[in-house]
Amino acid sequence: MSSTPLLQVDAIDASIGVINILHGVSLSVSSGELVTVIGANGAGKTTLLRVISNLLKPSVGLVQFDGAPTTAVEAHRLARRGLIHVPQGRQIVPTLSVLDNLIIGAERSEIVDSETLVENLEREYSRFPVLRERKDLAAGSLSGGEQQMLAVSRALMMRPKLLMLDEPSLGLAPQIVKTILNALRQLADEGLAVLLVEQVAMAALSVADNAHVLRNGEIALSGTASELRRDKALVESYLG
């Protein structure tokens, strides 16, 4: 783990319309670290990720990525700099093929020569072999789990420095959730910074290094994932 965090969120407040969603939220993620933010529905998890990727401006506070403030940088430029946000619902393009979805990711990270592209595709096909089998099918025809695998692989085709995922377990069978979370753990072990937002607390805590519990837009509890896992009752009381 490097000493300077790749992502630094300092005391941010954020509102949607007149409703204040986040209050003084701070956290950091370093390369090689998997941080999870857990919280109930409506706690502000999605809003937090939207602020980090600059889809929503914070009313107060500062977000820094790779040593520079993000506020003045448009979302698509942040993505090209390696801040990759996989939104809730996966958002794969249903009318394009699995391969085209993967290529979209590669194109924006300027993987232009065909050799590098093939290398990157091979890496993702070996991570999730089902994507190779389905590569020519319309992405919309994949199952929910396969779509989530595609969303993760597409994000990795963009050569992320920080990978943020918004509830990847949503609507998936426990076995598939496990496959995806294990893949995230492996990526963090390989040096990637991962910020995982989840509602399924124990599953997320089982792979994370550090964790924060978000409640009503505030960080209610923070600690290492193993500490929080030991205090299951306390965590669940915060999740309501």
Partner 1 sequence: MLDTYLQILVSGLAMGAIYTLTAKGLFIAHLATHKLNFGQGDFLMVGAFLSMSLIIAGIPVLLAALLVLIALGLLGWGLERLVIRPLDRFGISGGSTYSWILTTAGVALILQNIAELVWGKSSHYSPPLFSEGRDNVIEIAGINMFVEEILVIGFAAVVVAFFYYMLFRTRWGRAVYTVAFNPEAAMLLGINVRRTVVLVFVLASLLAGISGILVGPLITIHPHIGLMFTIKALAVAAIGGFSNPLGILIGGVLFGVAEAFSNYYDSAFGDLYPLIFVLVFLVFRPSGLFSEAQADVR
Do residues 109 and 157 lie in contact, with contact meaning Cβ atoms separated by under 8 Å?
Answer: yes
Query: Judged by CB under 8 A, does residue 210 bind partner 1?
Result: no
> Which residue's CB is nearer to partner 1, number 106 or number 205?
106
Report d(CA 164, CA 136) in Å as an integer.
27
Token pair recorded at residue 69: 């403030």
Query: Least Å distance between CB 121 and partner 1?
Result: 15
Q: Which of 29, 51, 85, 142 binds partner 1 (CB under 8 A)?
A: 85
Report d(CA 177, CA 14) in Å as an integer.
30
Report the first-to-last Cα separation within the chain, whole angstroms. Answer: 33
> Which residue's CB is nearer to partner 1, number 40 or number 99?
99
Query: Judged by CB under 8 A, does residue 229 bind partner 1?
Result: no
Do residues 45 and 239 lie in contact, with contact meaning Cβ atoms separated by under 8 Å?
Answer: no
Q: What is the DSSP letter of 140?
A: G
- For the segment 21-80, give every residue that binds partner 1 (CB under 8 A): 53, 55, 74-77, 79-80
Q: Which stretch binds partner 1 (CB under 8 A): 23-31, 82-90, 177-185, 228-236?
A: 82-90
Q: Lay out the site mask for partner 1 across 95-134 (x = CB under 8 A, - = otherwise).
A: xx---x--xxx-xxx-------------------------
Query: Angle at the Cα of 16 (from 10 to 17), degrees rounded to 5?
Result: 135
> Which residue's CB is nearer to partner 1, number 109 or number 210?
109
